A and B are shown apart, each in its own frame.
Chain A
């Protein structure tokens, strides 16, 4: 048994200690957003935020996460109350199949939390670990720019801008 803090709540997880975080999230906690894409750290579709940093959950063993804060896309907002990054992806219609998108969003969210006004170059560099096979890249870039603007406006009303730790 291990205690894991995910999306602000503590969970008792009964999994073998070498289990990568991805499977704990999907299998034990029944969360959907972090996706299995390669299990090899090559595609980014499993990305979540741990203590403010984007992390590839498929290659991060659960034991390393004792006492840390894990945030998944589910922890940012909901359909009814989307976080700025979620609103931005909806408004830009930034998905085709969408399978790669949650991972992209989590890395973008981590970037925007430490740099609220990233340049286009910085966003591209940041998203380098992520693959999208549908070719949604142009929209993903636009959505991250839009999210930066939305967060900027949201700053005035901090309640609307839950951030991931």
Chain B
């Protein structure tokens, strides 16, 4: 059980162009009877970009193998994808083999991000599986000379009316599955689902709770050396001198690598490399520049930086009269992903070819970046995803992959494992960007919102690789790659403006995105991107308006929302929580409510929470939360509940405790003492998650849907408990105490 991670390259699909199959695909893949008249021109999900069925499903004598270009990040996708394939193919769940992101084996699905995996890959696997099943039935019909309608499938075989079975393995010959997907598939009737919708236990958990190799951190290749990087002490610091001779003589040291400002050491054993790293860090002299903004003044710094301003939404109805107008500003600091396991990668450079095992969210974009950095063709770089510690967005994973590649290049033939130290992860990961929102809204005579103005200031929310310039190692080399110019992420998903457009119906509304291209701190994608702060702002402000209107927060939201599914999750969360319009919380407690539809196009989520505030210390405590979520057709209800529970707990930690700290030169929050997060003494008494299942509806991503509503629900509960509105994240005990005393 302690075997190293096994590298499985046994079945790289033999190449070959598209072959014409010997029967009519059209009849095998007849459209669903209820398909819309104007059929979609391209197939759904990631089949759009990787249309060949055998990019997703391959069948041979060993059985059925399913491929996804997405990476398991601890969300349980592997299990969900396997359920989908088992269902649509009629194959036993346990018999399936699933291969995840690998640049030689799987489709290029870009990043595993934005809660898009179910929508992209889940949908692709579902449709590919259904179409493969149809092909197998057609092939069996041909062989048996029977009408396809008379055949059934079960347990990996096509079954004739007389009971004769033709296994899928027997039926698949040559390149039969190397055909392009049709735009629509004959999907199963959700009422007949046997595997989808069941809480199938996760396939990865047994290994993780028994100490089997489960992470890239657990990889041990024969002859592998252990590397550590010495990072500069601050952004832009220049290495002026470094006498490496003493370090080279330390026990076990194999090599010291210096390439401009990139400094690393490889040793035989892991602790030897850590000792050598410390010695190397002591020998290195750096020139630093004070270039960080004033942390205390961050909101002003951000709003006064040059910005590119775009009105992203405008709706006008001058007929509406205005009674009362209020304004408020909300802020969010830089926040850290803070993976529990520091970033890690293993790289092996053999005969001019680089293989990197990494917990990146994007093997293909990283391959491009690493190839560029090493100045070798992408075809000579092979990236294989292996699970790491949960990442919650773009953390140090990609940088560690680049570090490993650069180090391994200096030691051809020898595999090298690099892991970051805790302080490096905290100081060098790209943070979730700081943000400022300014809101102004008016109520009409009936207590409804008459107009709504929302301005958001933010950096981009993705500096993910593609090019080498996004990776620290490439930025630090003697011949460095420049950091690429940041770009705003396009709507409808958006970046800093994700969820900035209100999902409610307001007769007048205007939303302006102030995109700031200057990035004082290194930033990139963090779970939910701008939606975390935008939903926090919108949903806090909705409560401020509800209070002025004298309305119950839940009723106030329903009054402004027509969307049926949105109303359903609001009503469900309120009912599960026991929300009552005239409720009075016990002393020093407060109730809060919030709702959002993630990206205004993915999963719906509403959360009610109860907070207790210690008036002496200001300490807030989430007592309980009740959530309702609608993510379309549910594949694995327990997996979905796990994700939402986790989102609420994590968002609570961001919301109550977390901000990256810095002086004029260095990041100063560099471990768990200087960047405190939730500990067990603050874990709520209960979190209830209720799913509204929508059989047959498209999969909606849900991994990030809870972050915003959880934050606002907690902030609203704090306001309810204290009578004071806190608009600056995090809502620390100090800030709450100051508000109470003010």
Contact = CB atoms under 8 A, between A and B. Distances in A.
B321 interface: no
Interface string A131-152: 1111111110100000000000
B208 A98 contact: yes
A51 interface: no
Contacts of B208: 95, 98, 101-102
A133 B338 contact: yes
Contacts of A33: 210-211
Interface in A97-134: 97-102, 105, 124-125, 127-128, 130-134
Contact of A37 (B2, B202, B271, B340): B340
A27 B687 contact: no
Interface stretch (B433-441, B460-468, B578-586, B669-677): B669-677
Interface in A30-87: 30-33, 35-40, 42-43, 45, 72-74, 77-79, 82, 86
Contacts of B678: 131, 135, 137
Q: Which of A31, A45, A135, A141 has the most CB of B within 10 A?
A: A135
A96 B75 contact: yes
B660 to A, nearest CB: 15
Contacts of A127: 680
B147 interface: no
B421 A39 contact: yes
B50 interface: no
A127 B678 CA distance: 12
Contact of A26 (B76, B212, B270): B270
A89 B205 contact: yes
Given A30-B2, A42-B673, A74-B1, A15 B73 contact: no
Contact of B214 (A27, A37, A98): A98
B210 A74 contact: yes
B642 A96 contact: yes
A160 to B, nearest CB: 16
B647 interface: yes
B340 A133 contact: yes
B679 A82 contact: no
A16 interface: yes
A4 to B, nearest CB: 15
A19 B210 CA distance: 25
Q: Which of A28, A73, A132, A134 has the most CB of B within 10 A?
A: A134
A93 interface: yes
B422 A134 contact: no
Interface in B628-647: 638, 642-643, 645-647
B206 interface: yes
Interface string B673-713: 10001111101101100000000000000000000000000
Given A19-B271, A97-B390, A124 B681 contact: yes
A97 B34 CA distance: 40
A61 B47 CA distance: 53
Given A39-B421, A96-B75, A102-B211, A27 B389 contact: no
B681 A125 contact: yes
B626 to A, nearest CB: 13
Contact of B209 (A39, A42, A105, A133): A105
A86 B388 CA distance: 21
Contact of B645 (A28, A37, A78, A138): A138
A89 B211 CA distance: 13
For chain B, the bracket of interface size reads 35 or more
B269 A27 contact: yes
A86 B210 contact: yes
A35 B390 contact: no
Interface stretch (B148-156, B215-223, B470-478): B215-223
A82 B210 CA distance: 7
A83 B213 CA distance: 18
B387 interface: yes
B168 to A, nearest CB: 28
Nearest to A123: B680
A20 B649 CA distance: 32
The secondary structure that dominates the A interface is loop
Given A36-B342, A36-B419, A43-B340, A131 B209 contact: no
A162 B683 CA distance: 31
A93 B680 contact: no
A16 B253 CA distance: 13
Contacts of A131: 340, 672, 677-679
A109 to B, nearest CB: 12
B205 A36 contact: no
A35 B73 CA distance: 17
A79 B1 CA distance: 9
B2 A32 contact: yes
Contacts of A137: 649, 678, 680, 683
A135 B209 contact: no
Contacts of A136: 642, 645-646, 649
Nearest to A143: B209
B418 to A, nearest CB: 12
Contacts of B4: 30
Given A124-B680, A124-B681, A141-B683, A93 B390 contact: no
Nearest to A24: B271
Nearest to B650: A135
B207 interface: yes
Contacts of A138: 645, 649, 683-684, 686-687
Nearest to B685: A120
B648 interface: yes
A151 to B, nearest CB: 16
B293 interface: no
B358 interface: no
Contacts of A139: 642, 645
Contacts of A74: 1-2, 210-211
Contacts of A45: 340-341
B100 to A, nearest CB: 14
Contacts of B201: 90, 93
B251 to A, nearest CB: 7
A90 to B, nearest CB: 6
Contact of B213 (A20, A32, A132): A32
Nearest to A124: B680
A124 B75 CA distance: 25
B280 to A, nearest CB: 17
Q: Which of A42, A89, A95 has the most CB of B within 10 A?
A: A95
Contact of B680 (A36, A73, A128): A128
A125 B652 CA distance: 19
B653 interface: yes
A35 B341 contact: yes
Interface in B247-292: 251, 269-272, 274
Nearest to A98: B208
Contact of A93 (B202, B210, B337, B677): B202
Q: Which of B74, B337, B339 has the most CB of A within 10 A?
A: B74
A139 B114 CA distance: 25
Given A23-B274, A86-B210, 7 more contacts: A23-B269, A40-B672, A40-B673, A74-B211, A96-B74, A99-B388, A134-B646
23 contacts: A30-B2, A30-B220, A36-B217, A36-B341, A40-B422, A45-B340, A73-B210, A74-B2, A79-B207, A90-B205, A90-B206, A93-B638, A95-B204, A99-B388, A101-B208, A128-B680, A132-B340, A133-B389, A133-B390, A134-B74, A134-B650, A137-B678, A137-B683
User: Would you list the 8 A-B pairs with minimal beta carbon distance, nearest first?
Assistant: A97-B74, A135-B649, A33-B211, A97-B390, A98-B208, A135-B646, A99-B389, A74-B211
